[in-house]
Structure 1
Amino acid sequence: MPESGSTGGGLASLNPFSRRDEYSRQHIVAYRVSTIVTYLLLVITTLYYTFRKPHEGHGPHHRIWGNNVDSPFAQNSVMTSIYWIVLFIMQAFYTGSLYSSNTTYVQSAWSISGHHILSNLLLTGFVHLWVRTLFWPALLIIIINFFNLSLAYFRHSTAPRLIHIATVSGPLAWNFVALYWVGAVTVHAHHLTARIVANIFIWGFLAYGGFFLLAFKDYTMGYALSILAFSTGVGQFLTKPPVFQLQWIFAFTIGAILFVLSTLVALPGLMGREDMFARGEVVSEDRERAPLLADN
């Protein structure tokens, strides 16, 4: 296990996002403690405000799903909650990998921990703002975390599958959908014009997922966005008379397309067959390859 020292010096050694081949004992302790503390902070905060609303101060306060109002991107609370429960369980295993004796796992876990810790803190802050109906600051945090997780994706694209899903693709997929969800609530997108615009914008789910499937062969992003698209479709079906709007139809269609495409990308590897291009490789116009998401 690479615990002997740090390759960086000066300010670089203090940067939690810098690349390192070795980690000092101080770095390792800091990553382990910060990861556990911020993980528990996010889980406890999310669970608390799922069932209770804040009471201090003035203004309308709600539980997390109390602000899932009738907007063009309202989600189904049950489906998205299950999504996050599974993600939290996987993140618990990721936290355990910080203590693993497997060099590959522990190196990947330490490398990505800076982004994961920041994401936990940002999402905790988002929950506190969201339940207090401070939508604009909440949206700003979602935007910041989108860039944080996107940077984590492109910088640490060789992480083992479990770590990749728990800390990058799972949270990033939700964060992308949350840009629409929180944004629609923030700008009060309830009128007909907003719904017409939303009927166009929702296809961004397919474009975003298709990018990762095509460029990275990353079916974990495809499946995650498929689930969230279905959640949006169910949410739309239950919050608005279906006969008067098309959003739920588009959401179900996008979810189905992403599920099928993700399965087509995943099957060759799961069946031990060679795919046309190996998982995680980008194919340029001259068909050159560059390794990205490595298998476990």
Structure 2
Amino acid sequence: MTDYNPFSRREEYSSRAITAHRVLTPITYLIFLITAAYYTFNSPPDGKHHLPGHSIWGQNEATPFAQNSVITSIYWIVLLVLQLVYAWALYSKDTVYLNAAANVGSHYIASNLLLFGFVHLWTRGHIWLSEFLIILNFINLSIAYFRHSAAPRLIHIGTVAGPLAWNFVALYWVGARGVHTNHLAARVVANVFIWGILAYGTFFLAAFKDYYIGYALSVLSFSTGVGQFLTKIPILQLQWIFAFAIGGLLFVLSSAVAFPEILGKNRTGGGEIVSEDRERAPLLADE
């Protein structure tokens, strides 16, 4: 059955399967990259209700989870560059890299296609359909994380941890845009829900010692904080304060986990990052 399941984990892949990954990976990478780049600076003419659409950041209206376009754009540029490492790994003669890339390959390809659809729906004003695709991709990347947790570090960051962190924050970002209200009740709910970012990041730090996803969520929290500060009257809002606090806490907690691991000091517990700071070493212990 696993031979027909593209998302199953395998110890080795046929040349046909590897070829399929080598073909589909650059195609879906370019489809998403070109679409995202175009709609970052342009708006579609055919939006919802036959009205012109908006650019990606044109839809980033003043909500309790509005992000800063510069910080989040830089975040994605870094991810897209790291994803080239994954593409390179598909041609590696090193079986550790090759099998790791092939294992996450179907999830990565699915993620690119879902994000491609998200950009088109988001810029055309179909907010709740956009949220649906973000939910699907969050499930897809969560499965990739827990099923293929032993990927080499750079593959893990670019194709799993980084996109998963963004997808989690995007659940709030897109959902808040869909609700589209700034009444007191909505702000109170947002003030509570934003702490879910801290809880989510702390889970990965405690359970897996994955400081990569901790740092990623820290950056995105700061992006949310800057976005709130620049779109709201700061003295009347708490959201930007909470976002900066969460970003700072995640940075400190991630650093507390990262430095002992980088220095090679193993910690007890399941799923820890390997102590050797080797580029080809698996990110998480395979228990």
Instruction: Output the TM-score relative to the length of structure 2.
Output: 0.93
Question: Does 2:185 correspond to 1:179?
Answer: no
Of 16, 20, 30, which aligns to 1:40?
A: 30
Alignment deviations for residues 105-159 of structure 1 (CA, whole Å, 9 cap, x no partner): 1110001101000000000000000000000110000001100000000000111
Q: Quote the offset at 1:94 in angstroms.
A: 1.1
CA gap 1:18/1:277 in 2 versus in 1, 3 angstroms:
closer
Contact 2:82 2:154 in 1 (8 A): yes
Structure-1 residue corresponding to 2:59: 67
Shift of 1:235: 0.2
Cα distance, 1:294 vs structure 2: 4.1
**Which residues in structure 2 correspond to 1:188-227 (within 5 Å)?**
188-227=180-219
The alignment status of 1:262 with 2:270, answered yes or no, reads: no
Q: CA deviation at 1:292?
A: 7.6
1:55, distance to aligned residue in structure 2 (A): 1.4
Q: Distance in 1 between matches of 2:107 and 2:270?
A: 27
Q: Secondary structure at the match of 1:158?
A: coil
- Please give the alpha-carbon distance, in whole angstroms, between the structure 2 residues aligned to 1:141 and 1:152: 16
Secondary structure (helix, strand or coil) at the match of 2:8 reads coil
Per-residue deviation, residues 147-203 of structure 1 (Å, max 9, x unmatched) = 000000000011111011011100000000000000000111322211111001000
2:245 counterpart residue number: 253
2:225 aligns to what? 233
Structure 1, unmatched stretches of 5+, are 1-10, 282-290
Displacement, 1:276? 4.7
Is 1:55 the counterpart of 2:45 in the alignment? yes
* Runs of 4+ that moved beyond 6 A: none
- CA distance in structure 2 between the partners assigned to 1:175 and 1:226 by the alignment: 14
Report the more deviating stretch, 95-104 or 231-240.
Answer: 95-104
CA distance in 2, matches of 1:292, 1:183: 32
Contact 1:216 / 1:292 at 8 angstroms: preserved in 2? no
Asked if 2 retains the 8 angstrom alpha-carbon contact of 1:209 and 1:221, the reply is yes
Amino acid in the other structure paired with 1:123: L
Structure 1 match to 2:120: 128
> Does the 8 A contact of 2:43 with 2:52 survive in 1?
no
- Opposite residue 23 of structure 2, the aligned amino acid is V
SS in 2 for 1:72: coil
Whole-angstrom CA distance in 2 between matches of 1:27 and 1:217: 32
Q: Percent identity?
A: 63
Which of 127, 137, 140 matches 2:129? 137
Out of 57, 62, 73, the position equivalent to 1:81 is: 73
**Aligned pairs, number:** 276
**How many angstroms apart in 1 are the aligned matches of 2:43 and 2:283?**
43
Distance 1:218 1:272 in 2: 15
